[in-house]
Structure 1
């Protein structure tokens, strides 16, 4: 445990970073928990309120449709009063007792034809039946309905007769007059009376299929949530979506509407647990996002604490670098207070020392030569491993011709990069090196890589820095390769008095943000070529993201400010990377690239 000198040993030392983290925790986490709790409650209340409003609208509309449907049944059961043939048949059978139970064929034909016309194209109607006083039954279903009825089948007639000619909606009951008795039948019935004498002539009854009430409900369901129930004026359930409901006051949100015309009541019941489950799902999703945001906030808090408490440590580390002779080191100015002013003074002092050292010892020139030699002699171990693995596979498969091509191309690469130490080469030599590299990559990638080189032979003996094209090709293969085949085009052109070498691809492309980052790395005022590490070398690249920068810095070191590398992502797909360098036709001696070509030709 650490204690400050001269302080009370009982007071525990708390680092400033810990204080900042605790402060951020109190400022971020506690408000988040409070806001989350309030939001959950308000969301739940709002959902319940919206659900009640929507349920009221649905229930009212169902009630209107149900009332309209009952009116249609009312008109349907009144139709026999307006057909004289039907009334004559009913008058003939108005006497009670078995004497008149005989139904003639002519009567049955006329009645069935009339009833069938009423039930035509009404899929929700199971059957329309007319019960005569003397025990006869007329129906549009000849095979499944009995021809006579008796008291044992007429327990439903009592409420119909009490209505004295009015329409009666019968709750689910047993229809025993079918040859196969049917349970839970919902019906509309009324007594048929003589218009002038008011004498009872019979009963007309419309049996509905389960689709009857269900079709009215299904057309207006909202999202399938909640349960619906339809009851008559005696509280008998005509239609219900649940066999047994829990306590409505505690478990359900209810909305109801009652028809003054039919006496039917429509009730909608939405489970509160379901609404809260939706709220919990939303809360869970929000919680996941919020946890990620909190993690990011805590990470930002740690970074901010580092920026607040470590500027002096940063300045101290830069001073140690300068002590070792690295005069290009600069401290980052993060504040505008006294520490920031001290950092600016340190940077100014080191800049002046660096200028004086350069003027006296000319170390900058030697550093350029060392950097150029390092950048042009890099061989990527992973590329060699992959190539040797491919050689091993071809050898095992017995593909001697392809094996010979890979070995030959690899030999050319090694001879070009290791065997010759010259810094300047002909365009022809550089293109041959790229062709050998593409042959190896083409055998490894197959149809996924399609490369074309369009460089006129008039550029063959133009002098360029060694190893400036291959890093661009490798950068495309590393970063632009997607699921689709990659097309790559290498071209050369003249712009005023400069040579422009371009590598264009139709790969994944590059976003505007990433392009700005790359341009900052390429053209930043303090950017320098990255140091070359022995196990991170590649054909023209140090590591991912540095290949383009190294090529650009080499051209700047050799030719100065106007020359270097440019990026263009304005095409529909892919990126175009261009190199601008001065046109140079200087002749090379035999020890240079010409000698290298002779070795390759041999």
Structure 2
């Protein structure tokens, strides 16, 4: 029972030691994580750097575009500004301006004055494709146009004139009727006297054609405002105001020192985000392919690294199952190879120890068998038997003489030598002698019939193997009330597995169910009790369990004594013996 408890504890310990996650799985997962985590972090860091770099690049491009636009507009409007001051340096134009510089006098322009002013204004727009017309506003209310028309200007135009009055030395750029106009207050260069106003009106396509020369980033929005906050591009009604769609923008702006125009460029980040997403998608695809390859390499490397360990584990399991001759193949000189070499050394040491323990166990079995045999050895001497035999012959009591002679044969068989085995033929002669002695005591013993082929008579069997069964039959099978004759049959044969099978049966009183249960229980106890542990059978059948223990000690667990519960005419025992017992000789 103690051995079984130890076995159960060992099995429980093995179950507890079973890994919840295999070593190869842990190694593979660890390798994958070691590759995936750094690559993921690197991708995130690199992505953020790429985003910042792209934003900075776009911002630099926006700033460069704003600077270029500002320079282009300065050059363009500087040329147009020069046109607004040309009348001050034309003598005929100065004469006309000063002649009509008094707002209180409402004079009419003479034909000569009109011709001179018209010629001067026409020269301003000559070969200027972006200039639509030029108008000269005299202080007495006359308005001269480059197309030779003379009009009267109204007080509704005083608004832009007041703007010009605010800075008499500056040309203003204002939105004008779907286009732009450059306006300026005219002052006499010599006296500084106020002489009138000039307006140079531009073509509607003047600024757009100018901006076509500038390459703007895709998704850009451009706006140009004067210092009064008026949008001169795109003109009101000519397109949506920049930044009105609710999108996020990268913006740049610059104010011209000469024209006071503020150039603002906005680049929607949606296009940039699309580029970033496309770049990220490409990067993710490349990294995913790299990760897939690295995972395959990790799995292959893990399998290669763990294969020797798994093989070593299999070898250890074989040793655990009792195959102590198992050896591992040393495949390398690294730590795994050292483990395999150490395992081989350990297995060799275990095998040597097992052999030593096995030999000691055999010696212990021999001592146990001797102890079991000593329980049924007779305790009288040969000289006493010889004396009794001579007395019986002198009294002519030949039955007693024959009984004493049989008893002497039994005594000689038991203590003749130290061997524990004898041929089956000798064991049968010993059994016959014992039976003949018992017939003197029990009159109901009718016959002992033996059926043993010639080929089994020479096989070695343990001594005193059969006597306990005949004794048990006579003790429990004789029916003293009815004096029914008792016959005993013994059959010997060789089984297909090479075992020697002995069957002993009788036609006496059958065992009750309780008696059969008690005999089977004693046989099971004999199997589970260690060889050196003391024990005692319950009820009758003590000699049978001793025989059962002897057979299991000698031949192994497949052999022993078995009660045939299917036989109901009496009692039948089946003995199974191996053909090569330990210690036979």
Q: TM-score range by the shorter chain?
A: 0.3 to 0.5
In our comparison, the structure showing a higher alpha carbon Rg is 2
TM-score (norm 2): 0.45
